[in-house]
A = this chain, B = another copy of it.
Amino acid sequence: MYVIIVYDIEQERVAKVCQYLRRFLYWAQNSVFEGELSEAQLVKVKSGLSKLIDPQRDSVYIYQLPGKKLVKKEILGQEKIVTRTILE
């Protein structure tokens, strides 16, 4: 599946979340990650994120789509540099 994760996380926790998500997904834009994940990887990402965030103060939305082919992405203005990380 194709996943888009957007988050609104307080300053003291955001670096760790960003670092964690880089292991699985592309950094697309501030507070936005995207990429292909298997079901098992998604379970892992959700559990890892749950340990890193404060559920009373932070917000993470995980949009799951059947596959990248179904997602059309258009960019207005700048495309932020996408860094490729090694998937586990």
Contacts and interface: CB of A to CB of B under 8 A. Distances in A.
Contact of A59 (B4, B57, B72, B79): B79
B6 A6 contact: yes
Contacts of A79: 59
A86 interface: no
A78 to B, nearest CB: 4
Given A29-B6, A30-B8, A31-B31, A75 B63 contact: no
The winner among A58, A76, A78 for most chain B CB atoms within 10 A is A76
A30 B81 CA distance: 21
- Among A46, A65, A75, A80, residue most surrounded by chain B Cβ atoms (within 10 Å): A65
A70 interface: yes
Per CB-CB distance, the 6 closest pairs between chain A and chain B, nearest first, are A60-B76, A64-B72, A55-B77, A59-B78, A58-B77, A62-B74
